[in-house]
């Protein structure tokens, strides 16, 4: 468990998160702002995700994908890294989502700040953490800016979603020397 504040913490996903995953990940706004979450998000998708994250517990380096949990409401989101250049690599990328009822409360900014700090503490070789955001998602860009990330570029047609090429805003934070 990784505490964020008195109400919010990061923890491994649990098998009983299935109903919340189906409920929250069927949000059209969340789908529009993410690349890899399918729509509609079905029970099969939830089962596959929970099986995948259960396997991470035994993988070298441990858990990369964490659930965001509220002490009263349980699962409210997720955050993870991609091990872009491997466990001992110098660059990685993060991705995250937050359920609609909990947006706009500063939760994700605090989560991104703490998760980034945790990644740098756990992985001494890690120098750079990236996040590639759709330009149509200014809220996510602002979260990253508040968490210390800086915009480094605009990538035209970097993503492919539903047969369409989409642009991306490259945000990154580097370990201080």
Summarize pLDDT for 139-170 with one digit per residue, the tens. 999 999 999 999 999 999 999 999 999 999 99
- Residues with Cβ within 8 Å of 142's Cβ and at least 6 positions away in sequence, in order, are none
For the chain, the structural domain boundaries read 2-125
Question: What tens digit of pLDDT does each residue of 47-65 get?
Answer: 999 999 998 876 666 679 9
The partner residues of 151 in beta bridges, in order of sequence, read 171
pLDDT band at 134 (very low <50, low <70, confident <90, very high): very high
3-class secondary structure, 98: strand
CATH of domain 2-125: 3.40.630.30
Question: What tens digit of pLDDT does each residue of 99-115 get?
Answer: 999 999 999 999 999 99
Q: Give the rounded percent of residues in the chain with a pLDDT score beyond 90.
A: 88
pLDDT for residue 83: 86
pLDDT for residue 166: 97
Q: What is the mean pLDDT of residues 77-87?
A: 91
Does residue 87 have a pLDDT over 90? no
Of 35, 56, 57, the C-alpha closest to 134 is: 35
């Amino acid at each position: 468990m990784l505490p964020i504040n008195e109400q919010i913490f990061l923890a491994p996903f649990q098998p009983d998160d299935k109903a919340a995953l189906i409920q929250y990940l069927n949000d059209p706004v969340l789908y529009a702002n993410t690349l890899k979450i399918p729509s509609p998000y079905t029970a099969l998708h939830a089962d596959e995700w929970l099986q995948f994250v259960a396997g991470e517990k035994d993988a070298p380096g441990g858990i990369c994908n964490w659930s965001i949990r509220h002490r009263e409401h349980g699962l409210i989101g997720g955050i993870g890294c991609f091990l872009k250049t491997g466990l001992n690599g110098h660059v990685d990328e993060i991705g995250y989502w937050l359920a609609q009822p909990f947006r706009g409360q500063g939760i994700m900014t605090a989560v991104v700040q703490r998760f980034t700090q945790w990644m740098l503490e756990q992985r001494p070789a890690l120098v750079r953490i990236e996040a590639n955001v759709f330009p149509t998602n200014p809220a996510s860009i602002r979260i990253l800016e508040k968490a210390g990330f800086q915009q480094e570029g605009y990538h035209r047609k970097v993503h492919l979603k539903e047969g369409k090429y989409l642009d991306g805003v490259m945000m990154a934070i580097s370990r201080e020397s």
